[in-house]
Amino acid sequence: MKILANDGISKSGINALHAAGFEVFTVHVAQQQLQNYINENSIEVLLVRSATKVRKELIENCPSLKIIGRGGVGMDNIDVDYAAKKGIHVINTPTASSESVAELVFAHLFGGVRFLHDANRNMPLEGDTRFKDLKKSYSGGRELRGKTLGIIGFGKIGRQVAKIALGCGMKVIASDHQVGQADIKLTFFDGQDITLQIKTAPIDTLIQKSDFISLHVPAQSGYIIGKDEIEKMKTGVGIINTARGGILDEVALIEAIDEGKVSFAALDVFENEPTPSIKVLMNEAISLSPHIGAATIEAQDRVGIELAEQIINLTTKA
């Protein structure tokens, strides 16, 4: 069986597939050439991340496809329902990158409350001439301990964010229309563990009570956070989006930053990805990263292994 990992796959995943007798292609094929490549090489398994789109037309015109795999959680770049109608298995790796995304949230959060994202821009430029001025500018930082973190979307990633928040001494409030409550297990080095139960709350309550808000929902048809929601937030709130572009109104966000309603924001995903708005990129109150939430060595290793295991299980059953 031939597998095309069009957006890449970890070495451990390749090794597992090779050991099971699969032929793995890791060449990246441009979107417009993908259909021809799949058909010319009789590809039966197509693996993608977020870059490659697997739409109805591609599925319809590639009769050799038996499995489509998404290395990650969201599958909004795949026409899942249509693939299922054609008898194609669609798989993903919902747990593999949870820890990595959660850690990025806190990388941005710690940086945001201490202005590190902006200090790292200005220190190389002016640190030798305006050291005291910069020190004064960045001396109004805040601690996370004792603050309330609102988590919108309480799936696997949201729960990992909650674990880190609790470890930092933060209060956690979560909202999810599909989850009523969730167990958060904290594990210690000596094998001991504590399980805490967090009940979700209405999103309006979360918006009003949170000092910081982190988004963890799939792609939506409209904004989860827009002008009206921001107006209900605490003055000085921080907003972090490592989920999907298009769920946070970036125009309303910048307006709120300019007005002092939002103290800082952190974005790993963007409305106009991969060409984010210049106003977003140049705003000194926004901490930025280029959609790297799941891009750790450990997460990609887990993604590759999980995909390999699912493919092997599906083909063995067949």
Question: Is residue 115 predicted with pLDDT exceeding 80?
Answer: yes
Token readout for 27 is 């060449």
User: Span 269-289, mean pLDDT?
Assistant: 96
Burial 251-270 (b: 16+ CB within 10 A, else e): ebbbebbeeebbbbbbbbbb
Token readout for 177 is 């229309």
Q: Whole-angstrom Cα distance, residue 211 to residue 193?
A: 28
CATH number at residue 152: 3.40.50.720
- How confident is the model over 259-277, as pLDDT tens digits? 999 999 999 999 999 999 9
User: Span 182-187, mean pLDDT?
Assistant: 92
User: What single letter denotes the amino acid at residue 31?
Assistant: Q
User: Span 273-293, mean pLDDT?
Assistant: 96
Check if 216 is active-site: no
Specify whether 122 is located in the same domain as 140.
yes
Token readout for 210 is 């949170």
What is the domain count for the chain? 2
Q: How large a percentage of the chain has pLDDT more than 70?
A: 99
Out of 108, 159, 244, 302, the active site residue is 244
Domain hosting 276: range is 98-288
If residue 282 lies in a helix (H) or strand (E), which one and from where to where? helix 278-282
Specify whether 42 is located in the same domain as 110.
no
Specify whether 229 is located in the same domain as 204.
yes
Specify whether 173 is located in the same domain as 205.
yes
User: Span 123-129, mean pLDDT?
Assistant: 97
Question: Tokens 């910048």 appear where?
Answer: 254
Specify whether 121 is located in the same domain as 227.
yes
Average pLDDT, the chain: 95
Specify whether 92 is located in the same domain as 103.
no
Specify whether 125 is located in the same domain as 158.
yes
pLDDT at 219: 86
Rg of the Cα trace of the chain?
Answer: 22
pLDDT at 94: 85
Out of 216, 291, 302, 306, the active site residue is 291
Q: Give the residue among 58, 57, 56 at the shortest CA–CA distance from 4.
A: 58
Token readout for 264 is 């800082």
pLDDT at 111: 97
Residue 107 β-bridge partners: none
pLDDT at 184: 94
- 3-state SS, residue 236: coil
Residue 91 β-bridge partners: 69
Q: Whole-angstrom Cα distance, residue 221 to residue 160?
A: 26
Check if 55 is active-site: no
Q: Whole-angstrom Cα distance, residue 19 to residue 224?
A: 44
pLDDT at 296: 95
User: pLDDT band at 95, cuts 50/70/90?
Assistant: confident
Specify whether 87 is located in the same domain as 214.
no
Specify whether 54 is located in the same domain as 108.
no
Out of 23, 103, 255, 273, the active site residue is 273
- How confident is the model over 42-79, as pLDDT tens digits? 999 999 998 899 999 999 999 999 999 999 888 889 99
Specify whether 126 is located in the same domain as 271.
yes
pLDDT at 170: 98
pLDDT at 318: 58
Specify whether 172 is located in the same domain as 158.
yes
pLDDT at 223: 97
Q: How large a percentage of the chain has pLDDT more than 90?
A: 92
Check if 143 is active-site: no
pLDDT at 76: 87
Contacts (Cβ under 8 Å, ≥6 apart) of 186: 163, 166, 167, 193, 194, 195, 196
Specify whether 169 is located in the same domain as 239.
yes
DSSP for 50-85 reads: SSS-B-HHHHHT-TT--EEEESSS--TTB-HHHHHH
User: pLDDT band at 189, cuts 50/70/90?
Assistant: confident
